[in-house]
Structure 1
């Protein structure tokens, strides 16, 4: 990490960067390495609603202040947050929390000041999984800007994780906004295994393009194989892609799938949005974290933000 604060990255900076293609490829590889061929875990964690709840529990715990009940990580507060974002119904939140507890990702304890209230907390198993996911999201930034890089998330640093997730709470509304504004992300992310299936298709499409030189051409896939890789059924994959075709995101011809230009552009825009957000959060964490060198004196509050925190 240098002694000066480098200027923030905009989405346009990222999309026009000469290393964006390499960053995208690294992100796709890292995401697939984290989720491919892990069907039991994938059935629970890779649909948009569950992933958002997983993230929210960690963020709520990081921002928990015992003297402020509004920050308490309770099921009730989680339900209000998810319903406010339109992410999941109260009943679904309850079911997902129970399933996360069943696999040892969430634990509950009684509040010291109110023994009637159960507080949720991520287990060490869940926190380790989250550190791995943070490294996935910082991988494209590390590839694009290897000097000075993003060493703390890349080495799964727990202190960085705690600070990063505390800051992230202010950006949840923004993240929801750029997802809803992106037709590709808004379609694939909420559907079970949708984004991972898209990520695999992106990977296969670029591999075929490198082999044949046919940019945007169709790729032959097995719906059954895609289902097995991500813990879902062939029928679900076929239905997902049929609906994506109706939205103009893919073209189907038997087992052949072509990603439309709009779909590819949407994937790139989503990736650039997440990269800009994580870069900004990293800078904010860097401004308050104990591992920041003393030479960095510019307060995080006066740094020009790439993305505005939610009100």
Structure 2
């Protein structure tokens, strides 16, 4: 979703780790992951894991339909659990000033250039209607309301993070981080830590060529994962069946929406539509590159959050 406004400066949230340092770490980590000889297999396992989570689950699809809604959901979780317990790393005054009030969430989304304040408010209302968040009174100021995640949102976000951490454990089995998130206390610490990497998400997406096509489109990311998880094709000339009229109902989007998305992907040189309606789609190398970069970004962010929540400071980048 393209924001019709000029983004403001991002808040500095960690002492000793600037946005620039964090960005450099993510970029290097993405390269390390993609160079791993087992990464292509891990990436397709990641795609299948995400498809399994989203297929037929329309409430989750609506909440995570695009980058803006995903960001808002994770911002609510990180701000909520960041206030209930100390953050896993020393934070700045700017981070401490943020709350779970709608105004704080709006400040984050506008600073990241994700969406406007009005879109953020409308998304929070949608999340409330489908039972993923609720509003509670602020005991210190009854004029203000806090946006609080429900168990449905917590469980959904945990499952999504688990997919990324399972991919990380496949590549680096000695870490075994995916087992830690079954501990509720640690899970809350992980969500609290995720605020910092969340602030890098938009810039990372924009740095991956053509990733905006799938990030901005409703259901675009999960449709990409579904397409890449299709079996029975060679790596060089991968032709799959991706029927729009059958795929759409699985993820709560229309056939027309998928057709438009795939037409744009074809125009950008990512796929070739060989038969109308997605009956035959050739996946071009450029799409494989975009897909692997997006998966690597997800895994790198999950690793950063886990290192921070687990106190693995020797694995984190510091300015000094």
TM-score range, shorter chain: 0.7 to 0.9
Unpaired runs of at least 5, structure 2? 1-25, 86-92
Q: SS at the partner of 1:132?
A: helix
Q: Which residue of 2 aligns with 1:103?
A: 130
Q: TM-score w.r.t. structure 2 length?
A: 0.81
- 2:245 aligned with 1:219, yes or no? no
- Mapping for residues 121-200 of structure 1, pairs under 5 Å: 121-153=148-180, 156-200=182-226
The corresponding residue for 1:82 is 109
TM-score by length of 1: 0.83
How far did 1:214 drift? 6.0
Deviating above 4 A after TM superposition, structure 1's stretches of 4 or more consecutive aligned residues are 65-69
Q: Is the contact between residue 110 and residue 117 of structure 1 (CA under 8 Å) also seen in structure 2?
A: yes
Residues 1:115 and 2:142 are matched in the alignment: yes
CA spacing shift, 1:214–1:98, aligned 2, 3 Å: closer
SS of corresponding position for 1:109: strand
For residues 119 and 39 of structure 1, the distance between their equivalents in structure 2, rounded to whole angstroms, comes to 26
**Superposition pairs of residues 273-284 of structure 1, within 5 angstroms:** 273-284=297-308
The SS at the match of 1:64 is: helix
The answer (yes or no) to whether the contact 2:271–2:282 under 8 Å persists in 1 is yes
Q: How far 1:274 moved relative to its partner?
A: 2.2
Structure 1 stretches lacking a partner, 5+ long: 1-7, 288-298
Paired residues of 2:190 and 2:305 also in contact (CA < 8 A): yes
Q: In the alignment, is the contact (CA less than 8 A) between 1:223 and 1:237 conserved in 2?
A: yes
Does the Cα contact within 8 Å between 1:49 and 1:88 map onto a contact in 2? yes
Deviations 1:195-241 (A, max 9, x none): 1111111111xx122xxx46333222211111111101101100111
CA 1:98–1:285 in 2, change beyond 3 Å: closer, same or farther?
same
